[in-house]
Amino acid sequence: MAIPFYWEDIRFEMVKMLHIAGEQCNLYSYGLLMGTDTANGTSTFISTDAVFQPELLNKVSQKVDVIFHDCETAAYKTNVHAHYDQLCTLPAEIKQKMWLYHYQAAPAQVPQENGFLGFIVKGQEFSFPD
């Protein structure tokens, strides 16, 4: 985890995440931990573009209330994003905090049946206590 920074009284911390593992080099993206320093605020994590990293998700999930994670749903797995089938292997206590985004159009999966909060839909908004 990185050194936190603040904006508008919100604490942010960048989390280095593997995006693509290559033969010559690895490419990384950065997830973001967000929250306030008050005990009653909601802490959130967004993964950005990342491959499946269960150890990192386990560590992050212990710090946050809500997780937004990118998720492939196609039959073909690109190894550029976490695939739905991989995310289903996570413990229930992680999945119950997780909203999924960056999925293919008209996915066949029903995330609530596998313990997730759901797929984020276009225009959906989220409100959290301060």
Domain boundaries, the chain: 5-119
Whether residue 29 has pLDDT greater than 70: yes
> What pLDDT score was predicted for residue 116?
96
The pLDDT confidence band at residue 130, using thresholds 50, 70 and 90, is low
Q: What is the mean pLDDT of residues 57-77?
A: 91
Task: Spell out the SS3 assignment of the chain.
Answer: CCCCEEECCEEEEEEEEEEEECCCCEEEEEEEEEECCCCCCCCEEECCCCCCCHHHHHHHHCCCCEEEEECECCCCCCCCCCEHHHHCCCCHHHHCCEEEECCCCCCCCCHHHHCCCEECCCCCCCCCCC
Q: What value does the mean pLDDT of the chain take? A: 87
Whether residue 39 has pLDDT greater than 70: no
CATH topology of domain 5-119: Metallo-beta-lactamase; Chain A (3.60.15)
> What pLDDT score was predicted for residue 107?
78
pTM: 0.88
